[in-house]
Chains A and B, each alone.
Chain A
């Protein structure tokens, strides 16, 4: 069964450093998403992406964040200058339909900023 994959599974970084989180969505999906989940809290939407551009972004997704689809398979989230409060689990998801009622989530990248 096709699945969303994410790398790395864990990332530890120093405050102020840049990190790139990588995702490979399901191959026939056209709609991509990033979410984050701070430990013990709910899943929060960051950004959605379609047709090589951002469709929607939340207020969390400020100028330190960017997304890119550098090739036909990868979808990346870059955090330019990490802060302590960026420590969270980051999930990538993809869907076949724009409504995204059924989104398939990857296993996540646990980011720890020290």
Chain B
């Protein structure tokens, strides 16, 4: 089976930097994805790490350490619109040749204060 652990809630101040951690236990591993979900909205893809290291996309960066089964999402210059839930996710390794679903963590609710 697969399991992912992430904090349930993080609070930060507008303009600051926040890091959301994710640790995982998987039977096989390709990489770690991050999704954002606003209340009542759909998950939106943010970032993916297939290899160790840092991936940067604008204000968002994501890091992976395969040896530590650990990754994080870094959000810089926080804006009020970044208030949302953030999910880490891993690919389910199916029988091969088809589409693999994602196993999501329980999500981290990011609260941004002015």
Spell out A's residues near B (CB within 8 Å): 31-33, 35, 41-51, 53-56, 58, 91, 95, 98-108
Tell whether B92 is near chain A: CB-to-CB under 8 Å.
yes
Task: Answer whether A55 and B99 are a contact pair too, CB < 8 Å, given A42-B87, A44-B104, A101-B48.
Answer: yes
**The one of A41, A51, A100 that contacts B102, using a Cβ cutoff of 8 Å:** A100
| B residues less than 8 Å from A99 (CB atoms) | 30, 91, 100
Tell whether B71 is near chain A: CB-to-CB under 8 Å.
no
| A residues less than 8 Å from B100 (CB atoms) | 48, 55-56, 98-100
**The one of A45, A102, A107 that contacts B101, using a Cβ cutoff of 8 Å:** A45
B residues 22-58 near A (Cβ < 8 Å) are 30-31, 33, 35, 37, 41-45, 48, 50
